[in-house]
């Protein structure tokens, strides 16, 4: 596959762009692979990439029922941060954030990582204490964050109203190297790199059954026929419950709809990401100028990829209090994704009751930021048959053993 470079752009400009190639091969399934990954979202693709890159395993297929990145990976608001409270979370999210810094170079694909800084507003005394605690925890974990004053909040983001009617801004948790990236590019970049290593990315191919024998998976049934595999890894986010059911086990996961919306494009007005967790809303400006807005998840199980309108009303109401200048903006689009929520709001990277079957799920409302680190950790687990240091705390057994990684208190909002 040809290398992308400034030189390539110049060359193609001179010959009317006739020399570009497909970014990845449109593969059809072979009868057997060493590893089959179900789900070509960011986490499935990153797992495949790191299986090849870190462990030399390239006889791999990534099977996707729809189109690549058409799940939550192509529907999220792209916030990348690592200011979590618990140590296992900080380790994997910070690994991930660090990998985002060099992802464009690693993949030879511009994922537009923009470490513009993320600000989480403290709007109650309780939040002030909580975020100060997180800043201290992050200091011990080696994650660079800081609690900043309202004055510095206003300097970083002049369009903020500090004295909102309900919740004045009392400060913020600031992570300067957090930011955003282009979600589609992350999926496309990984797909191209995987295809380059000889892996098959198979779209429009739904897994409909899992075959097993004596506690081991032997293969999957798909809409494009039977595929045998040495190992199986399920990475299907909101559809994890269905895949687990096919394999004969249950999960501590529920699927709910989470929504986002974007406004018409306007001139640059904010160059940081702002999250307001008490009032439930967050906002950033895309490179095209749209205000990208996200809010709360539905409280009930749902597979419709829509979500309830009252969440949008609540989110927009909250954001207008915080950013009065957006009150006259027109909203262009609204959409939903089916997110996989666990009891402690932390992900699952785990072995399963079937010996050679692994699962990565439960990223819920906040897994875009985790894609590279999660892929790294999941590949390690699939290659070695057992989780490594990044993944071991995230095993399914933590629920039975009461070793939760409780981020529901730390995060409080969907992102």
Partner 1 sequence: MLILTCPYCGTAADETELHPGGEAHVVRAGPEADEDTFEAYLFQRANPRGVHFERWRHSHGCGKWFHAARDTLTMQVHGTYPAQVTEPPQDILDAIEEARAR
Ligand X SMILES: Cc1cc2nc3c(=O)[nH]c(=O)nc-3n(C[C@H](O)[C@H](O)[C@H](O)COP(=O)(O)OP(=O)(O)OC[C@H]3O[C@@H](n4cnc5c(N)ncnc54)[C@H](O)[C@@H]3O)c2cc1C
Q: What residues make contact with partner 1 under the rule CB under 8 A?
A: 239, 241-242, 250-255, 298-304, 308-310, 343, 399-400
Tokens of residue 352, six digits: 């399963």
**Min separation Cβ 237 and partner 1, Å:** 12
The two tokens of residue 411 are 């995060």
Q: Is 295 in the site for ligand X (CB under 6 A)?
A: no
- Among partner 1, ligand X, none, partner that 63 touches (CB below 5 to 8 angstroms by kind): ligand X
Quick one: which of 282, 354, 272 has its CA closest to 318? 282
Residue nearest to ligand X (CB): 41
Please choose which of partner 1, ligand X, none residue 76 contacts, taking the beta carbon within 5 to 8 angstroms, the exact cut-off set by kind: ligand X
How near is the Cβ of 368 to ligand X at its closest, in Å?
3
Give the shortest CB-110-to-ligand X separation in angstroms: 19
Residues 211-240: x where in contact with ligand X by CB under 6 A, - otherwise, as a string: ------------------------xxx-x-
- Does 175 contact ligand X by CB under 6 A? no
Of 33-41, 129-137, 147-155, 167-175, the segment contacting ligand X by CB under 6 A is 33-41
- Which of ligand X, partner 1, none does 15 bind, CB closer than 5 to 8 A by kind? none
- Binding segment toward ligand X, per CB under 6 A, in 27-35, 57-65, 194-202, 322-330: 57-65
Window 259-288: contact mask with ligand X (x via CB under 6 A) = xx----------------------------
Of these partners, partner 1, ligand X, none, which one is at the site of residue 37 (CB under 5 to 8 Å by kind)?
Answer: none
CA distance 275 to 295: 10
DSSP H helices in 34-102: 42-55, 87-101
Contact range with ligand X by CB under 6 A, out of 59-67, 118-126, 136-144, 164-172: 59-67
Return all residues near 10 (Cβ < 8 A) that are at least 6 apart. none
Measured distance CA(387)–CA(395) in Å, rounded: 8
User: What distance in Å separates the CA atoms of residue 347 and residue 388, rounded to the nearest whole number?
Assistant: 15
Please identify which residue in 53, 75, 177, 345 interacts with ligand X, judged by CB under 6 A: 75
Q: Is 207 a residue that touches ligand X (CB under 6 A)?
A: yes
CB of 179 to ligand X, least distance (A): 11
Q: Find the part of the chain contacting ligand X (CB under 6 A) among 5-13, 77-85, 107-115, 390-398.
A: 77-85
Three-class DSSP category at 357? strand
In the complex, what is the shortest distance from the CB of residue 370 to partner 1, in angstroms, rounded to a whole number? Answer: 21
Identify what 255 binds: ligand X, partner 1, none; CB under 5 to 8 Å per kind: partner 1
Which of these, 407, 412, 258, lies nearest to 342 by C-alpha position?
407
- Sequence-separated contacts (24+) of 1-6 with Cβ below 8 Å: 1/192, 1/195, 1/196, 3/108, 4/108, 4/109, 4/110
* Contacts to ligand X from residues 298-337, by CB under 6 A: 337
For 214, left (φ over 0), alpha (ψ -120 to 50), or beta? left
Alpha helices in 221-308 (DSSP H): 240-247
Which strand (E) or helix (H) includes residue 118?
strand 118-122
- Quick one: what does residue 337 bind among partner 1, ligand X, none, with the CB cut-off 5 to 8 Å set by partner type? ligand X
C-alpha to C-alpha distances, 98 to 145, 162, 307, 345, 381, nearest whole angstrom: 14, 32, 33, 22, 20
**Residue closer to partner 1 (CB basis): 175 or 365:** 365
Q: For partner 1, give the closer residue by CB, 70 or 176.
A: 70
Question: How many CB atoms are located within 10 Å of the residue 347 CB?
Answer: 28
Q: Which of 175, 167, 176, 77 is nearest to 122 (CA)?
A: 167
Shorter beta-carbon distance to partner 1: residue 362 or 372: 362
Report the C-alpha gap between 79 and 117 in whole angstroms. 10
Report the candidate in 304, 74, 328, 68 with the shortest Cα–Cα distance to residue 200: 68
Binding region for ligand X (CB under 6 A): 38-44, 63-66, 70-73, 75-79, 206-207, 235-237, 239, 258-260, 294, 337, 339, 363, 365-369, 415
């Amino acid at each position: 596959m040809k290398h992308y470079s400034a030189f390539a752009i110049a060359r193609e400009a001179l010959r009317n762009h006739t020399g570009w190639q497909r970014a990845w091969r449109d593969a059809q399934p072979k009868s057997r692979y060493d590893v089959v990954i179900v789900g070509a979202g960011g986490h499935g693709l990153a797992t495949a990439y790191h299986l090849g890159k870190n462990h030399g395993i390239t006889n791999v297929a990534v099977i996707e029922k729809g189109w690549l990145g058409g799940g939550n990976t192509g529907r999220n608001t792209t916030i990348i941060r690592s200011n979590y409270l618990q140590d296992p979370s900080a380790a994997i999210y910070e690994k991930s954030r660090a990998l985002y810094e060099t992802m464009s170079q690693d993949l030879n694909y511009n994922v537009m990582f923009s470490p513009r800084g993320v600000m989480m507003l403290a709007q109650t005394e309780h939040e002030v204490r909580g975020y100060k605690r997180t800043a201290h925890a992050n200091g011990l974990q080696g994650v660079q964050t800081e609690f900043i004053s309202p004055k510095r909040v206003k300097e970083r983001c002049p369009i903020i109203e500090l004295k909102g009617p309900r919740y004045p801004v009392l400060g913020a948790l600031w992570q300067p190297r957090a930011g955003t990236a282009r979600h589609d590019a992350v999926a496309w970049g990984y797909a191209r790199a995987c295809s380059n290593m000889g892996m098959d990315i198979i779209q429009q191919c739904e897994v409909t059954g899992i075959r097993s024998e004596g506690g081991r998976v032997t293969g999957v049934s798909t809409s494009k026929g039977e595929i045998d595999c040495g190992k199986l890894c399920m990475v299907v986010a909101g559809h994890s419950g269905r895949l687990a059911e096919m394999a004969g086990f249950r999960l501590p996961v529920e699927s709910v709809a989470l929504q986002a919306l974007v406004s018409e494009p306007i001139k640059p007005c904010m160059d940081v990401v702002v999250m307001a967790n008490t009032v439930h809303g967050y906002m950033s400006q895309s490179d095209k100028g749209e205000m990208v807005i996200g809010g709360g998840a539905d409280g009930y199980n749902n597979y419709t990829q829509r979500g309830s309108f009252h969440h949008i009303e609540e989110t927009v109401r909250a954001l207008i209090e915080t950013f009065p200048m957006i009150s006259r903006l027109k909203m262009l689009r609204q959409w939903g994704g089916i997110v996989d929520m666990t009891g402690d709001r932390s992900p699952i990277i785990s072995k399963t009751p079937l010996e050679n079957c692994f699962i990565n799920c439960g990223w819920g409302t906040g897994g875009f930021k985790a894609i590279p680190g999660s892929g790294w950790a999941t590949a390690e687990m699939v290659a070695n048959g057992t989780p490594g240091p990044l993944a071991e705390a995230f095993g399914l057994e933590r629920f039975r053993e009461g070793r939760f990684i409780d981020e529901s208190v730390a995060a409080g909002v969907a992102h």
